[in-house]
Amino acid sequence: MNNFKPTNEERRFKAHVSIFGTTQLHLRNPFIIAWWSAAFPGFGHLLLSKYLRGYTLFLWEILINVMTKLNLAMVYSFTGNFEMAKEVVEPRWFLLYIPVYLFAIWDSYRTAVDLNKVFLLAERENADFNSYSIGAFEINYLDKRRPSMAVLWSLFMPGMGQLYIHRVATGTFSLIWMIVFVYFSNVLIAIHLLFLGDIPQATQVLNPQWLLFIPSLYGFAIYDSYVNTVENNKLFESEQRKFLSENYQQYRVKIPSKQ
């Protein structure tokens, strides 16, 4: 249940608080957004809170990358084994990869530019928005959080930093896929063997096709949680400033001067 009812006079809102998270507009660098889309299609759109498009591109990247064996080919290329890299790549899937990859970069850049313009209009209008939401399963409200704590929890496990700032959808999505990547990459088995001193076996047991997904997810989780914590704090201060100004600024406190 929200404590806010929009009117027909309000065209744009800076934010929306729901039980699933806080979605807000703020200025973003389009080149940074495009870079994240290049690092992993879908991440740029998730940073823009374009969740349906971001999840679709993310799942597409996993499917095509695995079927193409692109990560495995990259590992062979990095180690100088170019002939083996050519052999493992599946061309029937690889040709599907390029157009959607380029679209993800272009569309995230274009959307970031457009949303920056929308934010400037919404900031000028400064319309009221709901700052508190309560439902049968969750409660969400604007509050100030520590960016360093969001980064710390993301370092422990991608997704927990987002849960700390109540980005439930992105946090749950990141946690689930981190489990998938860790399981299929055998990274925990490799760490166990490394502790036992069996370095050759630890290296051999790793699955590089799935292992190369993990650094991108870690980097995205850290960056996303940090940026959104900072912007949520700004949004909280902006909402508080407007509320106090509209409800209490008319009351002038007269401080008697000392004679």
The string of pLDDT tens digits covering residues 25-73 is 899 999 999 999 999 999 999 999 999 999 999 999 999 999 988 888 8
* pLDDT, tens digit, 9 for 90 and up, residues 200-237: 888 889 898 999 999 999 999 999 999 999 999 999 98
CA distance 51 to 224: 13
List the domain boundaries for the chain. 15-248
Question: 27-36, 130-139, 241-250: lowest mean pLDDT where?
Answer: 241-250
Between 141 and 35, name the one with better pLDDT.
35
| pLDDT value of position 41 | 94
**23: three-class secondary structure by DSSP:** strand
Outline where the chain has alpha helix (H): 30-39, 43-47, 51-68, 70-78, 82-88, 91-125, 147-156, 160-164, 168-185, 187-195, 199-205, 208-211, 213-248
| pLDDT value of position 258 | 64
* pLDDT, tens digit, 9 for 90 and up, residues 73-124: 888 888 888 888 888 888 888 888 889 999 999 999 999 999 999 999 988 8
Confidence of residue 240 (pLDDT cuts 50, 70, 90): confident
Rounded (10°) CA dihedral 29, 34, 36, 38: -160
Between 146 and 241, name the one with better pLDDT.
146
Tokens of residue 205, six digits: 């047991």
**pLDDT at 259 > cutoff 60:** no
CA distance 239 to 245: 10
| pLDDT value of position 231 | 93
Between 14 and 105, name the one with better pLDDT.
105
